[in-house]
C-alpha cells in the first residue's frame, strides 16, 4: 500500500514538473498544478485502464501510438476540468506534457517496485 501511495504522489508531482520544463504548457500556480496532477493520477487509475482495454486491438494496429493519443486526451480533459488554470499552446505541447508525466510514472514505478 505504501508503494502505491508513493507512486501516486510521484505521479501527482509530474504535472508541476511538466509545467517547469515545458514552455508551451502552463499552470496558473504550483498548488493548482499539484491538485491537477492528483486528478490526473485518478484519471490514470480509473479511466485509462478501461479505455486501454476497449482500444487494445486498435493499439496493435497503430503500433502503440494510440496510447500516446489517449494520454494526450487525458491532459486535454484536464484543461477542461481546470479552465484558465491549465493551458497549452498547441497539441504538440500536450503530447510533450503527457510524455513527461509518463516518464515520471515510469521512473517512480522502477524505484518503488524494486524487490527488496
- The string of pLDDT tens digits covering residues 22-81 is 999 999 999 999 999 999 999 988 998 898 888 878 878 888 788 889 989 999 999 999
Q: Is the pTM of this model over 0.75?
A: yes
Which residues, 6 or more positions from 44, have their beta carbon under 8 angstroms from its beta carbon? 11, 74, 105
Domain coordinates in residue numbering, the chain: 2-112
Output the nine-digit C-alpha cell for 44: 490514470
pLDDT for the residue 75: 93
* More confident call, 94 vs 113: 94
Rounded to an integer, what distance in angstroms lies between the CA atom of residue 15 and that of residue 86?
A: 10
Pair 92, 72: CB distance under 8 Å: no
Main-chain dihedrals φ then ψ at residue 26, nearest 5 degrees:
-130, 135
At residue 115, the pLDDT reads 63
pLDDT score of 15 more than 70: yes
Amino acid at each position: 500500500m505504501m508503494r502505491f501511495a508513493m507512486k501516486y504522489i510521484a505521479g501527482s508531482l509530474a504535472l508541476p514538473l511538466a509545467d517547469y520544463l515545458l514552455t508551451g504548457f502552463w499552470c496558473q500556480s504550483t498548488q493548482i498544478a499539484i491538485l491537477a496532477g492528483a486528478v490526473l493520477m485518478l484519471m490514470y487509475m480509473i479511466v485509462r485502464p478501461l479505455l486501454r482495454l476497449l482500444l487494445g486491438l486498435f493499439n496493435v494496429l497503430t503500433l502503440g501510438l494510440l496510447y500516446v493519443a489517449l494520454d494526450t486526451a487525458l491532459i486535454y480533459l484536464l484543461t477542461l476540468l481546470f479552465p484558465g488554470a491549465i493551458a497549452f499552446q498547441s497539441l504538440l505541447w500536450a503530447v510533450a506534457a503527457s510524455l513527461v508525466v509518463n516518464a515520471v510514472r515510469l521512473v517512480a514505478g522502477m524505484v518503488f517496485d524494486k524487490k527488496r
